[in-house]
Amino acid sequence: MRILAMGPLWRGSNAGGLFRALSREGCMIEIVDEFYFISLQTTKKPVKIIDRIIRPLQVREYNDAIIKKISAFQPQVVFVYKGMFVLPDTLHFAKKNNCHLVLFYPDVSLTAHGANIPNCLPLYDEIFTTKTFGIKDMSSKYGINNTFFIPHGFDPEIHRPLKISNEDFSIFGCDVSFIGTWSAKKEKFLSFLKEHVPEINLKIWGGQWDRATAQILKKSIEGKPVIGDLYAMAIQCSKINLGILSEKVSGSSSGDLITSRTFHIPGASGFMLHERNEESTLYYNENEEAGFFDGPEELVAKVKYYLSNDAKREEIRLGGYKRAVAGHSLDARARVILNELKRIK
């Protein structure tokens, strides 16, 4: 199958990992990386102002590059990961060139990332969503029913056991870590944990944690994200890796039930303590392959328990790693996607 894919390729991106998995499954792949065209990493205010002014020109150039690649590569499938900057006229061009249009949507809300995503939804032949409630949201809000649920997976090139030096451990080693973007709910859970177990070495990695107001967390916030190999290293160096889920946001009917970390942490051979719900417990056996908690009080109790039971924690860590390797890699997800596309085509 010849696939033209759109999405970022930076080391550790979920999009790049899935594209490489599709390649390992035998597909011919060409990629148009939005990061080559659209400036998304600027931090200084004057540059951000300039970015906003020129953004429409960057988006147009990005879409022109997609159109040129369709003409040159002649793909059977145009595979869009998230698609924040893909325009409807680009998809119309792909359809005129007999391309099968596929969207892989990894986020909670369909409306939180601008107008292009909802405007393009009706044009896709298939939509894969990593949220079970995403199927209901697309149907109720947009009348779209050509949707399929597929969970995230871990990237075996990134999320894998690493050799950890003493220097690495001095930087990343801790009792408990949370790796992810700030939200009010996550701050509430982590501050409650630190208040009730003040002696723990807690590290918080990720973006937007400058928004946190809880003083008790200030020394735990590392002030930057960890990506790629450093992400896997941070997971391995933490005795307990927390899976605290994002809350409901505008444009969605639910908060997260599982997320990419649900599979990254065990895939990188880390011990995972995950928020319990009807979906998260489907993937790992509780107290055998992962720990689970419901609410901040149980989070505190489980952290205390697992920090004082090294042997049990190690047993669960190994069980979770084996479970992830057996069925939760991006290669396994790529096979599901390709089987669905072959059935339809």
Q: Kindly report, residue by residue over 224-263, the tens digit of the pLDDT.
A: 999 999 999 999 999 999 999 999 888 889 999 999 999 9
pLDDT of residue 42: 80
pLDDT band at 40 (very low <50, low <70, confident <90, very high): confident
Global pTM reads 0.94
Residue 344 pLDDT more than 80? Answer: no
Tell me the per-residue pLDDT of 185-236, one tens digit each, with 9 for 90 and over: 999 999 999 999 999 999 999 999 999 999 999 999 999 999 999 999 999 9
Q: Looking at residues 127-155, what average pLDDT do you find?
A: 94
Coil vs helix vs strand at 148: strand
| Sign of the CA dihedral with 188 first, then 190, 194, and 197 last | positive
Distance (Å) of CA 11 to CA 19, 20, 62, 118: 12, 11, 20, 28
Predicted pLDDT at 217? 98
Q: Is 275 helix (H, G, I), strand (E, B) or coil?
A: strand
238-243 and 174-179 as β-strands: parallel, antiparallel, unpaired? Answer: parallel
Q: How confident is the model at residue 60 (pLDDT cuts 50, 70, 90)?
A: very high
